[in-house]
Each structure stands twice: as C-alpha cells, then as structure tokens.
Structure 1
Amino acid sequence: MEIKQEKAERLVQIAKMYYEENLTQSEIAKEIGVSRALICRLLNEAKKYGIVTIQIHSPEEDYSLLKNQIRNRFKIDDVFIVNAPLGQKITDERISESFSDVLLNLLPSCSNIGCSWGKIIHEALESLASKKIDFQLSANASVFPLAGNMITTGYSIDAQKIVQTFSLCFNATPNFLYAPAFLESPMELDLYHKTENYKNIAQCWKNIDLAIIKIDNYPTSPDLGTAARYKVLLKEKHACGSFLAYYYNLQGEIIRSDFDYSIQIPIEYLASCKKVIGICSSNVMPKSLLGAMNTGLFTHIIASQDLLESVLDLKRI
C-alpha cells in the first residue's frame, strides 16, 4: 500500500511520540496543535500502512515450543512448565501448584499410587487438603511409599507422612512400610524381604499405576548413607543426580553397588509404571534433570522454564 513521503514522516513522528515516548493522545495533539480525534485517526493509519505493527508475546506459545522439544528429545508424555523468575520461594510455590493440577488430572485413571519423600510434594498435598476439593479416588484406591523410612534428623518430609496426608486428602487406603530406607547387611535385607509387610508393599509396587517422585541433585542433602552404600563408586561412575535412594549418571544409567541394602521400589517395577511424575524444586541442577530424563523412567516432568532450557543447552553439548 503506497503512501506519500510527507505523510509517512508525519505518521512516524506521531507513532514514536505515542509508542516510544509514552505521550498520551491528548498530549501529542496539544504539542502538534491538532485535535485528539485526529491523532487517534493518524495512529490507526500508521497501523494500516504497516508503520506500526503490534506483536503479542504469549508465554504459552514459548512453552509449546519448549514442551515439544523436551517431549521429542526424551520421549516424555508431557511436560509442565513453571515461569517463576522471582526467586526460590516463588518457584517452589508455583511448582507445588502445578503438581496439584497435574495430580488432579492424572488420578482419575489410577488406583495404585506410590509416593517418594520430598517437602514440595507434601506441601502440595497439604494445600489440596486445606481447599477441601470435591474429588475422591475409586473405592479400592490405595497409596503407599516407594521407599523405607528416612531417620536422618532434619530431613524433609518422610514418604510415610506423605502417604498419610495423601490418604486423608483423597480418601485412599494407606499402606505403610515398617522399615528403614537403609539396612546394614544383606542378611537384614533378606530377613526383611520375608516379612508380610514387605510382601504386601512389594505387591503394591508391582501393580503401581502412578509414581510421584522428587528429583534431587548429587551430592544429596542429607547424604543418604552413600559412603557405606557406594564407597567411591558414585564418583567413579560420575553420578549427577538421584531420586528415592537411586543414583544415576548423565547418560541415565542407574549406578549399582554390591553394598546397597536399601528398601525401595525395584527399578523394573518403576519401569513398568504407566505414569511416573518427576518433580523438580528450584534447587535442582540441569545435569540432575538431564540424567533423570535420560533414564527413560519418567513420563511426566514438572520444572521451571529456566531449568528446562538449561537442560536443552546441555543436551546440545
């Protein structure tokens, strides 16, 4: 669409005053000596002739691209992205909210739900409980821990506590694991494997529909007894992250030790689970998430935009 040079220059002048200098239409009209109605008409003409173009930037569009990149590269069913540039506390609050939404979406098709430890998981469930949501699982739904009890002083919420909160929130049947996460010898491990409590929980693990797991860094805090369980193996195998009491490297290989007598869901049961949610709080490092996704175990990931973008940057190296 053609426009005379003189008119184009006038439209550019008015557009700059309005869009760059942030003057009001009335202020521009007063300065130039015309009516405000004329300024409004000239601004519309500036759009008509392409002198001014309006571009709407939607974060959801950016997320769509990022989601597709993560899904395609890691063969993950879905990714839930949190935009939280305001610090650790806000990020964790938004991740907790996102997890609540994801949970309400996935739960209707699940009857057997396993939970790991993690403060962020517990806080999300407590928040749901406080809202008194009108949602219940099927009558035979059960929830159970994915690992034994953590006795470490000051450690964030134990998996048994999360099971209790979950059962109260969704009216599910709780199943508890009466054992520490780590035993001291193969003899202790063998004896516990023969108990009715372990057999019941092992059956739950075998039939699991949904696993809720917090992804952590390596080294972890607390240490999860790594010196006794792994000696120097984690350093030799270049561990980069953990979930439950498992450690893995950047390639997603689970690091095995002959001295690991932990009580937790076997990897083969987790691998057969239809839905495995990986939750990343604000302190998770890109290498920890990259290694976790490379395991091929996780079907759903909840993480911040910055973390996921950093993972893609690492993947390109």
Structure 2
Amino acid sequence: MNEWEKDRLAVKVASMYYADNLTQDEISRKLGIHRTTISRLIKTARQEGLITIAIRDDLKPYYALENKLETLFGLKEVYIVSSQRVQEDSERQALGKTCAELLARIVQDGDTIGISWGSTMKEVANALKPSPNQRPTQSQIVALCGGPGNLESDNHVNPIVGKVSQAFKAKPYYFYAPIITSKRETKEAILQDDSCVTVTNLWHKVRIAVVGIGAFSESSSVLSTGYITLQDQEALRQAGAAGDICSRFYDLAGRRIQLDLADRTISVDLDILKGLNYSIAVAGGAHKVPAILGALRGRFVNVLITTEETARLLLETANETVEAAE
C-alpha cells in the first residue's frame, strides 16, 4: 500500500469515527480491520495532520464520492481509485492494484475466496505479490465460473486462480468447464463430474468473492468469445440486458434476466454473491456505467472498486434514471 492509499484509509477511518460517530468496534466490523489497527489509523490521521477540523483538501472529494455511493446503494465500502493513480498506470492496472491492497487487508487464514475471469481480474492477480515470509495457509481459492475456450489464456479464470493462490500460498480449485454450453443437457452432464461437484460445493463456503462486471456491448469480453450466439445476443438485447457478472445477465434496474441462456451457463448464482461477507466488484470506464449501476441496484455486490470518473458518472446516471422514472 503506497503512502497516498495509507493516508486515504486513515482519513476514511477517522471520518467514520469523528464525523459519522461510529465506534471503533463498528468500524472494525464494517471494514474488516482489527480494532487495534483502527485505533492506530485514527491516531495517525490526527498526528500527521490528515484531519483537523476538516478533511485534507486533496482527499476530501474521494471520501465524499465514496460516502455518497455507499449511502445510495447500501454498500459496505467503496474504493475510488485516484486520477493520479490511473495516470501512472493503465485503468485496469490501477483498479487491480487497489483490489490487491484490499485483499491483503481483509483475507484471513482459512478463507474460501471466489475468483471470476477477465482482463481486470488478470490485473488483480498480477498485483498480488507473494511475501517471502508468507507461510502456507488453510485458505482456498476457487473459480466462480467456467471459461471460454478461445479466451486469451491470461484472462481465463484458471490462470487467475493459480496466481492468486500462489500469492496467498493457498490451495487452488480450478474449474475445467465451459462457461456456456450449447444445450442444457450438456451443462447438467458436466456438473455431475466429481471435480465440478467439488468446485460448485465450495461456492457455498466462499467468504470473499472478487468479480469483474461486463458491459453488454459488442466490445464486451463475453460476447466477443463467440460462446453467446447471435440469437442469444438478440434475446438479451430485447430483454434489456445492461451487464453481467460471470455471464449472469441483468438489466439496468438490477433484475436478473432469465432466458434459456441462463440454464446453459456454468457459473456461480447471483443469489450466492448477494449473501457473502465480501462481494467485491472491480470495474471502471464510462462504457461500463450501466452495467455497474445494474449490479449495484440488484445488490449483487457490496464492495465497489472503481475510478473517480466512473463514480461521478454512476451518480449522474442514477439520478437521471430516477428522474426519468418519475
């Protein structure tokens, strides 16, 4: 975690303590940080002048944005990646590094961690650096979906699971199945395989899930794989698809789209994600705003990591759609 991120976290904790009147125990539960660390961060924020009567000017806009999104969508936590960090790295790399820092903070020995696929998830895995002093853990890293066969290998769920498991010295559980089958009967037969049963059973033990959010557009990863036929794409378009998580599609209001395609999809159910301690979405970009908004309204995730530009567009779009509905 760099100095700016340390300061940002200290400001967030101190603001929750002083401005929001939360106790240190409440902050600890909300952020997944030990109470002793909460106390230290509050002390640091005061001693280093990060907070006085007001939040330091360069950090205040980020906290305000995070707080607005958390309140509007009932989120556990929002992480706004600074414009400076996006300029230093690519957008996906900046998102990946921020997610890696969050995981390093909240993962506990024995956790079962679910991982999805995609280019942003690849950057999360790349940003996780194994510590030389890291001992083997009892944690498990499990794939949350099958994978398209023609997808660039680094973006495939199994290599990502492998890298994350190496970083935490945890046991990987790979998923050797396509994400979408041509027939429902094919899916049912695949899921009867013992190795698949092991993975799908672990989905119910996940404490932390990290997922990307796909936009429903011609340039989206899931559509470009060819696994979704033109007929399926048209059906999704007619149903008002806004985005997907693990190829589970939903509309702008967060309503799941239940077409024949859903019965042929091999991935975690969105209901499982809704019930987790941490369901972390990592996504940014103007083209993904409708998809992210639908995911937040459906409450499929409770933590969002995104960019400053995307956060502002989310708030604007949310207000516009509410006004249009009225």
1:72 maps to amino acid: T
User: Are the equivalent residues in 1 in contact too, given 2:214–2:222 (CA < 8 A)?
Assistant: no
Which of the numbers 205, 211, 219 marks the counterpart of 1:213? 211
Normalised TM-score (structure 2)? 0.73
RMSD between aligned residues: 2.4
**1:199 alignment partner in structure 2:** 197
Q: Decide whether aligned partners of structure 1 residues 191 and 244 sit closer, same or farther in structure 2, where only a CA change above 3 A counts.
A: same
- Give the 5 Å matches for 1:297-312: 297-312=300-315
User: Are the equivalent residues in 2 in contact too, given 1:152–1:222 (CA < 8 A)?
Assistant: no
Distance in 1, Cα, partners of 2:120 & 2:233: 30
Give percent identity, aligned residues only: 18
Superposed CA offset, 1:16-70 (max 9, x none): xxxxxxxxxxxxxxxxxxxxxxxxxxxxxxxxxxxxxxx9962321112111110
Which of the numbers 252, 270, 274 marks the counterpart of 1:271? 274
Kindly indicate whether residue 312 of structure 2 is the aligned counterpart of residue 314 of structure 1: no
1:101 maps to amino acid: E
**1:235 alignment partner in structure 2:** 237
Superposed CA offset, 1:246-276 (max 9, x none): 1111101111112441111122222222111
- Give the 5 Å matches for 1:91-240: 91-108=91-108, 111-129=111-129, 132=131, 134-135=133-134, 139-154=137-152, 157-219=155-217, 220-223=220-223, 224=225, 225-227=227-229, 230=232, 232-240=234-242
User: Are the equivalent residues in 2 in contact too, given 1:239–1:248 (CA < 8 A)?
Assistant: yes
Q: Decide whether aligned partners of structure 1 residues 56 and 175 sit closer, same or farther in structure 2, where only a CA change above 3 A counts.
A: closer
Superposed CA offset, 1:234-253 (max 9, x none): 11121112221111111011
**In terms of Rg, which structure is larger?**
1
Q: Decide whether aligned partners of structure 1 residues 59 and 239 sit closer, same or farther in structure 2, where only a CA change above 3 A counts.
A: farther
2:306 maps to amino acid: A
User: Are the equivalent residues in 1 in contact too, given 2:97–2:123 (CA < 8 A)?
Assistant: no
Where in structure 1 are there 5+ consecutive unaligned residues? 1-54
Normalised TM-score (structure 1)? 0.75
Q: Decide whether aligned partners of structure 1 residues 292 and 88 sit closer, same or farther in structure 2, where only a CA change above 3 A counts.
A: farther
- 1:176: Cα distance to partner? 1.3
Where in structure 2 are there 5+ consecutive unaligned residues? 1-53, 321-326
Distance in 2, Cα, partners of 1:167 & 1:145: 11
**1:65 alignment partner in structure 2:** 64
